[in-house]
Amino acid sequence: MKLTVVGCSGSFPSAESACSSYLVEADGFRLLLDMGNGALGELQRHCGLYDLDAIFLSHLHADHCIDMCAYFVARYYRHDGGRCAPLPVYGPEGTEHRLTTAYADTPTASSMSEVFDFHTVKPSTFEVGPFTVHTERVAHPVEAYGIRVEHGGRSLTYSGDTGATEVLDELARDTDLFLCEAAFTHGKENIPGLHLNGLEAGESATRAGARRLVLTHIPPWTNAATNLRDARSAYRGPVELAAPGATYEI
């Protein structure tokens, strides 16, 4: 598997990075995890506009899904006059309605589904192209999922947005790469069931036995170096900050 960080800024884009979006490739199949603010532009640095094979949306906060509205335009009103075939989109209950109303307040009822094939995510295991995918509900104020993507005996686990939860530890059990959010700063922000801080991300990686930790979803107003230091204090394996354009062979 190859992972490319398309965007990794938390909550809103920074000058350097779009919001959450991660491209996972194997056997020529391209699965995009989240499409937050600015991600569609960055994505085109890494693959063609119409080269995605499936999209997974961890939850419906704008910083994880809002560029789906722009992507709808690109697929529905193609420059060549054609219309793209429906692309599989896996998201929480109500994804189509949310994206449709975000796009326009008087939407054509079915237009989104002409170019997206919506599937409702539940905690489960299913196949997406060559990948085996496991999804679990994580701790966030809205219905939100963490996802484990497996291929060829290797695994990537993406936390989505979550507070500390044993569910995440289990999802990331022995995973090869743990892409884990660290939006909060230890000792500064402490709101249960919302986000992890760097220390908690490190603790979760340790409990899970993850082989590598990549911290993501750090907002522009947060000192990333502090979160990295805190994660290192709780996790002995390799840990680094996600960066736009970074790639990992898993």
Binding site for Zn ion (CB under 5 A): 61, 63, 161
Give the nearer residue to Zn ion in terms of CB position, either 115 or 214.
214
Residue 7: CB minimum distance to Zn ion, A: 11
β strands within 168-222, DSSP E: 177-181, 213-216
Give the nearer residue to Zn ion in terms of CB position, either 143 or 170.
143
CB atoms within 10 A of CB 149: 27
β strands within the chain, DSSP E: 2-7, 21-26, 29-33, 54-56, 87-91, 116-120, 124-128, 131-137, 145-151, 154-158, 177-181, 213-216, 239-241, 247-249
Give the nearer residue to Zn ion in terms of CB position, either 61 or 98.
61
Give the nearer residue to Zn ion in terms of CB position, either 25 or 200.
200
Give the nearer residue to Zn ion in terms of CB position, either 146 or 150.
146
Residue 192: CB minimum distance to Zn ion, A: 15
Sign of CA dihedral 247, 89, 67, 185: negative
Q: Please, are residues 64 and 38 in contact by the beta-carbon 8 Å criterion?
A: no
87 contacts: CB under 8 Å, gap ≥ 6:
52, 53, 54, 55, 75, 115, 116, 117
Give the nearer residue to Zn ion in terms of CB position, either 61 or 212.
61
212 contacts: CB under 8 Å, gap ≥ 6:
176, 177, 178, 237, 238, 239
Place of tokens 């995009």: 32
Residue 236: CB minimum distance to Zn ion, A: 28
Give the nearer residue to Zn ion in terms of CB position, either 1 or 147.
147
Residue 181: CB minimum distance to Zn ion, A: 7
Sign of CA dihedral 136, 137, 140, 143: positive
Measured CA to CA, the distance from residue 158 to residue 168 in angstroms comes to: 9
Residue 165: CB minimum distance to Zn ion, A: 14
Residue 191: CB minimum distance to Zn ion, A: 12
Residue 18: CB minimum distance to Zn ion, A: 12
Q: Are strands 131-137 and 145-151 parallel, antiparallel or unpaired?
A: antiparallel
